[in-house]
Chain A
Amino acid sequence: MEAIFSSPFFGITLSILAYQVGLLCKKKWQLDIVNPLVIAVTIIIMVLKIFDISFEQYNAGGAYISLMLAPVTAALGVAIYQQWQTLKDNWLPIVVGVVVGSLSSVWSIRILSQMFGLQPQLAVSLLAKSVTTPIAVELSQQLGGIEAVTVAGVIFTGIFGAVFSPLLIKLLKIKNPIARGVAIGTSSHGLGTSKALEIGKVEGAMSGIAMGLAGVVTVIIILLL
């Protein structure tokens, strides 16, 4: 029985089916808060708990899907190429947005960690959580953080970004697609960018470029400040 769940086919099939359920829910309710990714993740975690399957067993298949993250993110290069003119014309607001955003990310984590009395080692692990995993992990290690905590922070941040970005866009009445995209990419890296792409082409491209820029800017901020 154990071996059945250790097959890569199990994890891949479960992921696809759970995501289909998520997509159906989104189609049915048409609400921004109904996020297919969150629904899929919830279903999978429930299945694993109910049938007592370990994450490692699930990830025998899951790892193949994760492997695809690099080519999927690289695909953003096409989106950026197609929006190059908009990007060139608006380089200043984009750069200012990413710098302001990265600064507010690092400082808000510092202040909030103190407010909530988070253990210093956890707090330091969180500092770079708004950027893409490899950069965040490297920064965390240099600061003496715990890698696992950093990865968890990056994932939570991405999920929150994907779920709450559409709501914030409405709440704050952000009409400009450049502002929307840069805000999503700076605050919630690739996971947020997947939502930006669903909102629009310009949003997706801007989010992609902001994600890359935010990584570089955050390294500079954390190592200098």
Chain B
Amino acid sequence: MKIMLQISIVFGICWLGELISALLPFPFPTSVLGMLLIFLALQLKILRVVQMETTINFFLKNMAFFFIPTSVSILKYYGILSQQLWQFVLICLLSTLITFSFTAAAVSLVLRFSKKGEY
């Protein structure tokens, strides 16, 4: 029952996230809202980490698994992309590599020039 209770805390927070998301005048992902709500609840000491630890650790450890059905859904989009599939895939790949490299370079640069200089 302990795990069920932990799951219900996390689900309840997601539900609250959906509620807030519906009230917001602009679209904001429920998942990110849930993340912020859990963070705030911990920071404000409304919740303690031990109250959800087992469930959270399981989620964080196996996060990739939950992306499987979404990833399989690329099957559905084959038709719409078939004309320019290779260009499409290549652009996705290259821009991901570029974004990663630029971000890492920017963070490293600021870390190096910031006063701590622990880089």
Contact = CB atoms under 8 A, between A and B. Distances in A.
Interface of A: 11, 15-16, 18-19, 36-37, 40-41, 44-45, 48, 55, 58-59, 61-63, 65-66, 68-82, 84, 89-90, 92-94, 96-102, 104-105, 108-109, 112-113, 116-119, 122, 126, 129-130, 132-135, 138, 146, 148-149, 151-153, 155-162, 164-165, 168, 172, 174, 176, 178-180, 182-184, 186-188, 190-191, 193-195, 197-198, 204, 208, 210-212, 215
A133 B97 contact: no
A167 to B, nearest CB: 10
B96 A77 contact: no
Interface in B50-68: 52, 55-56, 59-61, 63-68
Given A63-B69, A65-B68, A197 B38 contact: no
A105 B99 contact: yes
A78 B38 CA distance: 7
Main secondary structure on B side of the interface with A? helix
Main secondary structure on A side of the interface with B? helix
A182 B108 CA distance: 10
B111 A108 contact: no
B58 to A, nearest CB: 9
B68 A100 contact: no
Contact of B10 (A63, A71, A98): A71
A122 B49 contact: no
Contacts of B89: 156
A19 B115 CA distance: 45
24 contacts: A41-B68, A48-B75, A55-B72, A62-B72, A71-B11, A73-B31, A74-B13, A74-B38, A75-B63, A80-B35, A81-B42, A93-B106, A104-B99, A105-B98, A116-B90, A118-B87, A126-B92, A138-B27, A152-B77, A158-B71, A176-B107, A178-B111, A187-B99, A191-B64
